[in-house]
């Protein structure tokens, strides 16, 4: 039978550093305003190609529609802002969930290591096993 140490090896220094970092920053990184501000570049990765595609004029029907009297550029602008906002917040929340799951897993491993260390410190190591004789 495999020992727990073989299944669940000790945490590396990088994992311990992550646990300390996430304990200090997890609530700060969960705030929506911070998620929005950090996620803006990801949202722009979606919006910039849309804007370039729209302004290039390669699709004649889209160009005719944009130059028509019913087109309101403010609607396009608001739609692009909504895409940036949704993508930024969704992406950062997804990353936060991934980090939180990793943190919980590492905390569980760390707790198991501490319990094993405390358990082995309490047990005397040179005592013979108890006899199974019925007297």
The two most distant CA atoms of the chain are separated, in Å, by 103
Structure tokens at 69: 């009297």
HSE-CB at 93 with a 13 A cutoff on CA atoms is: 10
For residue 113, what pLDDT is reported? 84
Rounded CA-CA distance 99/67 in Å is 47
Q: Against a cut of 0.75, is the pTM above it?
A: no
Instruction: Give the count of beta carbons closer than 10 Å to the beta carbon of residue 84.
Output: 21
Contact status, residue 117 vs residue 16, Cβ threshold 8 Å: no
Rounded CA-CA distance 46/133 in Å is 75
Rounded CA-CA distance 48/28 in Å is 29
pLDDT band at residue 128 using 50, 70 and 90 as cut-offs: low
Alpha-helical regions (H) of the chain: 4-7, 13-29, 32-56, 60-67, 73-122
Backbone Cα Rg of the chain: 28
pLDDT band at residue 87 using 50, 70 and 90 as cut-offs: very high
| pLDDT tens per residue, range 9-19 | 678 889 989 99
Tell me: pLDDT of 84 over 90.
yes
For residue 45, what pLDDT is reported? 94
Tell me: pLDDT of 81 over 70.
yes
Tell me: pLDDT of 23 over 70.
yes
């Amino acid at each position: 039978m495999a020992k727990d140490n073989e299944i669940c090896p000790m945490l590396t220094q990088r994992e311990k550093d992550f646990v300390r970092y996430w304990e200090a920053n997890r609530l700060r990184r969960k705030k929506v305003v911070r998620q929005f501000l950090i996620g803006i570049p990801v949202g722009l990765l979606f919006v910039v190609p849309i804007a370039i595609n729209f302004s290039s004029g390669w699709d004649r029907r889209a160009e005719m529609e944009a130059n028509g009297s019913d087109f309101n550029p403010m609607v396009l602008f608001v739609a692009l802002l909504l895409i940036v906002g949704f993508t930024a917040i969704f992406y950062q929340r997804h990353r936060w969930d991934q980090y939180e799951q990793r943190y919980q897993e590492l905390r569980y491993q760390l707790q198991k290591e501490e319990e094993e260390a405390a358990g082995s410190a309490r047990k005397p190591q040179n005592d013979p096993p108890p006899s199974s004789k019925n007297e």
